[in-house]
Amino acid sequence: MRMHIRIRTMLAWSLWLAAFGCCAAGLLVTLAVTRPLTIGVLAEGAAYALAFPLGYATIGLVLSVRRPGNPIGWLYAASGLLWSLVVPLRPWVDWLVRAGRPLPLAAKLGAALGEYAWAPAIALGVTLPFLLVPDGRLRSRRWRVVVVASLAGSALALVGGSLSPAPLTETPMDNPFALAGVAGTIATVVGTVGSVLHTACLPVALVCLVLRFRASRGVERQQLRWVAAGAAGAVAGLLAGTALPQQTVISGVLYSTVLCVPVAVAVAVALVFGVGALGFFALPYTIIVYPLVFLVMPRLWSVAHKHQYVTPADFVRGRYGSPSLSLAVALTGILATMPYIALQLVGASRSCSRAWASVARGRAPWSATCHCSSRSRSWPPTPTRAACAHPR
């Protein structure tokens, strides 16, 4: 059993590291080939990477480690990996197209995959989790049809779209794998049928979520309320993003609010109802920090890098020329850090105290059984005092 847990943990971390590696490779390729390289380009790429590949992969990692028996975490991890596969290829393909150079096979695959990989990624990251939330099981066997239809539709959309003679829109170029004649027409029909089937499964999954909410009670109902709150935030962000000018940093940040849904699922499934009120920290922290990082930090970093500022106090003193304000900012940072350090010390103290108490009772700190008799028993011991020499 312990070996199975170790293997599942290694698999969860491997999926996350693969997604992170693709995003890191995408950053390196962007720095190498993108010209002109601006803060807007980097911020847009970072918003996409954190919202889809790393966002879904990280939430999948948390759920897979904390709730390995729940398939929702593994679905999110797989979705994040699919989103990340096109990250290192997209800037390279764009550079080859702008330069008028011939595309090698890897670039052709990256162009086709970047055009249609959204279908299986959404099926794994949105449709199937809506059918399985919060316990990882379907409401009944009848909903298996929706699961099969969603997976089949996404696969048909990917394969049919990749072979369709229609030009690519993500990268303005002809489809390098387009089939001609009757075969191309069949591929177009297959891709269209797959897209319609895949899209039709999304509202059906929402209907399943509503039916589950109406029939839920107690803890399950509270979990589904978290999911509903995340869905409302995602819809609000998407609507606001469509109303603003496209291809901007702000629209990219608003579109990335789709991550509110998996964050709410993670809070409901693995945090609030797994560690208690501490889980409430995750969702508001993400909502507050996410826009701040992408709207303010790129400009702050560029100014600090140009003038060699190391701390926020250095930035304030150089920007406003006020030593007193700089001192106030430095003291505020120190005072704000002290509760965090105190929290770590208290946690370490309690962990060490519990470990020392376990050693004093004659068992290993990580042991969960008492070995005073020939048969292992749970600790604290349930038999009479005569069966165990350890005090209760």
pLDDT in tens, 209-221: 889 988 888 888 8
Evaluate if pTM is beyond 0.75.
no
pLDDT in tens, 131-154: 998 888 999 999 999 999 999 999
Question: What single string gives the DSSP state of each residue in 298-319?
Answer: HHHHHHHHHHT--SHHHHHHHH
User: Which domain does 348 fall in, by range?
Assistant: 310-354
Contact 74, 278 (CB under 8 A): no
- What distance in Å separates the CA atoms of residue 267 and residue 137, rounded to the nearest whole number? 18
Tallying the residues shown for the chain, one arrives at 392
Residue-level pLDDT at 151: 94
Domain assignment of residue 339, yes or no: yes
Across the chain, the runs of DSSP E, i.e. the strands, are: 369-370, 377-378
Contact 357, 340 (CB under 8 A): no
Burial environment of residue 79 by CB neighbours within 10 A (0 to 12, 13 to 18, 19 or more): buried
Q: Count of domains in the chain? A: 1
Contact 143, 131 (CB under 8 A): yes
Question: What single string gives the DSSP state of each residue in 231-297?
Answer: HHHHHHHHHHHHHSPSSSHHHHHHHGGGGHHHHHHHIIIIIHHHHGGGGGGHHHHHHHHHHHHHHTH
Domain assignment of residue 299, yes or no: no
- Percent composition of the chain: helix, strand, coil (DSSP 3-state, to 5): 75, 0, 20
Collapse the DSSP code of 320 into the 3-class scheme (helix H, G, I; strand E, B; otherwise coil) and give the result: helix
- What distance in Å separates the CA atoms of residue 371 and residue 99, rounded to the nearest whole number? 72
Tell me phi and psi for residue 291, to 5 degrees.
-65, -35
Domain assignment of residue 320, yes or no: yes
**Minimal CA–CA distance to 253: which of 38, 45, 24, 31?**
45
SS (H, E, C) 40-60: HHHHHHHHHHHHCHHHHHHHH
Helix axes 2-33 and 53-66, enclosed angle (nearest 10): 170
Distance set, CA 302 to CA 3, 159, 315, 336, 378 (Å): 47, 43, 11, 25, 58
The alpha carbons of the chain give a radius of gyration, in whole angstroms, of: 26
Domain assignment of residue 335, yes or no: yes
Collapse the DSSP code of 377 into the 3-class scheme (helix H, G, I; strand E, B; otherwise coil) and give the result: strand
The per-residue pLDDT string of the chain (392 residues; one tens digit each, 9 = 90 and over) reads 554 778 888 999 999 999 999 999 999 999 898 888 877 777 778 878 888 898 899 889 988 888 888 899 999 999 999 999 989 998 999 899 888 888 898 888 888 888 888 899 999 998 999 999 888 899 999 999 999 999 999 999 999 999 999 888 888 888 889 898 899 999 999 999 999 999 999 889 989 988 998 888 888 888 888 888 888 877 777 777 777 776 666 666 677 777 888 888 887 776 555 555 555 555 566 666 766 677 777 788 888 888 888 888 888 888 888 888 888 888 888 887 877 787 778 777 777 777 777 666 665 444 444 444 444 444 444 444 444 444 44
The first and second tokens of residue 391, run together, are 């005090």
Domain assignment of residue 329, yes or no: yes
| Spacing of C-alpha 169 from chain mean position | 26
Residue-level pLDDT at 290: 65
- What distance in Å separates the CA atoms of residue 312 and residue 291, rounded to the nearest whole number? 19
Domain assignment of residue 326, yes or no: yes
Helix axes 105-116 and 144-163, enclosed angle (nearest 10): 140
In sequence order, what are the beta bridge partners of 377? Answer: 370
Domain assignment of residue 340, yes or no: yes
Domain assignment of residue 331, yes or no: yes
**Minimal CA–CA distance to 283: which of 304, 268, 303?**
268
- Rounded-to-10 torsion of CA 328, 329, 333, 339: 40
